[in-house]
Amino acid sequence: MPPKVKVTKESIVKAAVALVRQNGVESLNARSIAAFLDCSTQPIFSNFQTMDDLQKAAVDAAYARYLEFLDSEVKSGKYPAYKSFGMAYIRFAKEEKELFKLLFMQDRSNGELVPTQDFEASVEMIMKANAISKEKAELMHLEMWSCVHGIGTMLATSFLSLDWELISNMITDVYQGLRTRFSVEEK
């Protein structure tokens, strides 16, 4: 009977995410993960061919956590669906600062920004709510996201602390301004 595997791929990814939460993205390396799991680096490289593969798995796990925030915010019914996406993004930045930095504050200049499922869903919501073209909805969402990302970044870096009512009002104000602009342009 072969020996029981003690360090699984799943446990390595969980350890990687836990380390990022505790110490930031800089801690995402084989030695720190091995120390966290109290093992050698051998199980890490038995489960992942490269550190890039492990980092991608950690990013995927962090993104899954972000999607939980989106789902929870939408299900709460506190805000309209599109606003819920923005509020969830900001809440994720505040409550999961290091995971937010891992996902949304890394240099992406060497790669193409691939639309995510929340981006596509956001564009669809804007198109339906405002009767505008996909092209205009994408631009409106990009402008809205820039505002939401700015607020999230301020919270994730502890640059500024804002209460939820003010954040909600800021998002509404920006959305209404953009909505007016794009609705007028469409006609």
Residue 112: is its pLDDT beyond 60? Answer: no
Is residue 150 assigned to a domain? yes
Is residue 17 assigned to a domain? no
Distances (CA, A) of 137 to 101, 119, 144, 165, 172: 26, 11, 10, 26, 16
Is residue 27 assigned to a domain? no
Q: DSSP string covering 141-153, please?
A: HHHHHHHHHHHHH
Is residue 98 assigned to a domain? yes
* pTM summary value: 0.88
Is residue 41 assigned to a domain? no
Phi/psi at 22 (nearest 5 deg)? -75, -45
Write out the residue range of the structural domain in which residue 71 sits: 61-186
Res 182: pLDDT: 84
Is residue 52 assigned to a domain? no
Residue 108: is its pLDDT beyond 80? Answer: no
Residue 178: is its pLDDT beyond 70? Answer: yes
The average confidence (pLDDT) of the chain is: 91
Res 1: pLDDT: 59
Please state the domain count of the chain.
1
Is residue 144 assigned to a domain? yes
Q: Where are the alpha helices (DSSP H) in the chain?
A: 9-23, 30-37, 42-47, 51-76, 81-95, 97-104, 117-130, 134-156, 164-186
